Amino acid sequence: MRDFLPADKSRRERVLAVIRERYRAHGFDEIETPVMEDYDRLHAGLGGDNEKLSFSILKRGMDAEGIRAAADDPADLADLGLRYDLTVPLARFYATHRSQLPAVFRAIQIAPVWRAERPQKGRYRQFVQCDIDIIGDATSRAEAELMVASLDVLDALGLTGGVIRVNDRRALDAMLEVFGFAADERAGVLITIDKLDKIGPAGVVAELRDRGVSAAAVDAFAAFVDRPATTPSFDDAGIRAALPDGIPDDVVAHLVALGETVAAARGDEAPLVFDPFLVRGMGYYTGTIFELAHPSVDYSLGGGGRYDGMIGRFLGQQAPAVGFSIGFERIVDLLPDAAPKGERSVVLVHDRDVALAPLLSLKAHLVAGGARVRVEQRAKNMKALLERSAADGYTSFATVGADTTAETLELKPLA
């Protein structure tokens, strides 16, 4: 959990403003949910490994004896927890307010979440997530809208050239069935396959053998993954060529329609790449899954997928849903420390004998004209004062004496 100095906070808010503006332009509406949810909801088996990283909140009013008596079961100690993502709260929100929402609901959520991570570069215990979700649309148009909006955000931030890796959990499950993995083996097999980028095909095959899963299935997987590497085209022929025989036609058709829709919306070839081994670890994904990549880094900048089964846990009836989360912390670290375009920001440096009333009158005059204004008393080391002001994003300064007026105020660039 981190503190942010003024320059860092300003940069983060500028990035957030761009994300909000672009998502709103694509027809999404922002909502807000509480930072806490019921313990049982956060531990309903929907959040995968993130459930193990959740911060629980001790029940109020428990004395030492009660804590000792309940210590064997965390559920007896806590009834609330800090949210570890924004998807579980959204599902609860939709179930609660469905009657007040449109049939197809497009939501923005931009807010902090908490996970008991081991702190390291790029992993924090408190971080901001920027999510967009569509509830109520089971077609590939929903996924396409999310992808087009998220690629638009990257373009608006100057991170052009982004691509989206795409797969489908139904294709993954069918592929494992074709290889011969038993149904009760597949969850563990997917955990290992998800390490393909880190440990390579040989490492994945070795770990699968160590798991003790079906040897014949591992042999079939090894033969498939050792085929000559190609980048499949995002069309029917390319997707089928990247998968073994036996994948359901409706799954392939859904992916093909997705590619065509994104290409039409972007006005050029869709920046989508089919990856038959993309897994994503969240247990609630039921269909299309995707990750946002950029050529400047070797890690993803976001991702998401379809989670049609989650809403029904809270609503009592099924509702199709799909979401995309941008990795805000990763993206903000890629952007330069630039001042906002077009902002007028002025430092008024005054002598000690300048009266307060006329000084603040000058400030009010500049603020009324749309400027951001800071007042500073003249220092012995003026160079340090001006350098600090420039680092804080100010673009000009003016010296104020006892006789200075709005008409005689001379602004000079901070360079």
Say which CATH number the domain at 218 has.
3.30.930.10
| Residue 267 φ then ψ, to 5° | 80, 15
274 and 178 in one domain? yes
Residue 141's pLDDT is 92
**Number of domains making up the chain:** 2
281 and 175 in one domain? yes
Residue 312's pLDDT is 80
Q: What does the alpha-carbon distance between residue 355 and residue 403 come to, in Å, rounded to a whole number?
A: 10
44-100 pLDDT, tens per residue?
A: 766 666 788 888 888 777 667 766 666 666 667 888 989 999 988 998 899 899 999
Statement: residue 121 has pLDDT above 80: no
279 and 180 in one domain? yes
284 and 169 in one domain? yes
253 and 359 in one domain? no
Per-residue pLDDT band for 23 (boundaries 50, 70, 90) equals very high
287 and 167 in one domain? yes
In the predicted model, what is the mean pLDDT of residues 264-293? 85
368 and 265 in one domain? no
Which of 118-127, 222-231, 401-410 is predicted least confidently? 118-127
Q: What is the gyration radius of the CA atoms in the chain, in angstroms? A: 27
187 and 288 in one domain? yes
CB atoms within 10 A of CB 360: 14
289 and 203 in one domain? yes
Mean pLDDT of all residues belonging to the chain: 88
Residue ranges in 369-415 assigned as alpha helix (H): 382-391
Q: What does the alpha-carbon distance between residue 5 and residue 15 come to, in Å, rounded to a whole number?
A: 16
Q: Which of the two residues, 259 and 338, has the higher pLDDT score?
A: 259
- On whether residue 135 sits in a domain, the answer given is no
Which among 229, 261, 293 is the end of a domain? 293
Report residue 191 as tokens.
């955990």
Report residue 267 as tokens.
């006005």
Residue 136's pLDDT is 94
Q: pTM of the prediction?
A: 0.84
220-276 pLDDT, tens per residue?
A: 999 998 887 777 788 899 999 999 988 999 999 999 999 999 988 887 666 899 999
- On whether residue 171 sits in a domain, the answer given is yes
Q: What does the alpha-carbon distance between residue 260 and residue 238 come to, in Å, rounded to a whole number?
A: 13
243 and 171 in one domain? yes
Residue 177's pLDDT is 93
Q: What does the alpha-carbon distance between residue 233 and residue 83 come to, in Å, rounded to a whole number?
A: 38
289 and 169 in one domain? yes
Residue 105's pLDDT is 96
147-203 pLDDT, tens per residue?
A: 999 999 999 998 888 899 999 999 999 999 999 999 988 888 988 998 888 898 899
**Most confidently modeled range among 132-146, 280-294, 321-335, 344-358:** 132-146
- On whether residue 33 sits in a domain, the answer given is no
Roughly how many angstroms between the first and final C-alpha of the chain, as a whole number? 34
Q: Which domain holds residue 193?
A: 163-293
53-86 per-residue burial string, b: 16 or more CB within 10 A, e: under 16: ebbbeeeeeeeeeeeeebeeeeeebbebbbbbbb
- On whether residue 257 sits in a domain, the answer given is yes
Residue 43's pLDDT is 81
Per-residue pLDDT band for 380 (boundaries 50, 70, 90) equals confident
Residue 152's identity, in one-letter code, is D
- On whether residue 282 sits in a domain, the answer given is yes
Q: What does the alpha-carbon distance between residue 274 and residue 147 come to, in Å, rounded to a whole number?
A: 14
286 and 354 in one domain? no
- On whether residue 6 sits in a domain, the answer given is no
- On whether residue 65 sits in a domain, the answer given is no
Residue 227's pLDDT is 84
- On whether residue 376 sits in a domain, the answer given is yes
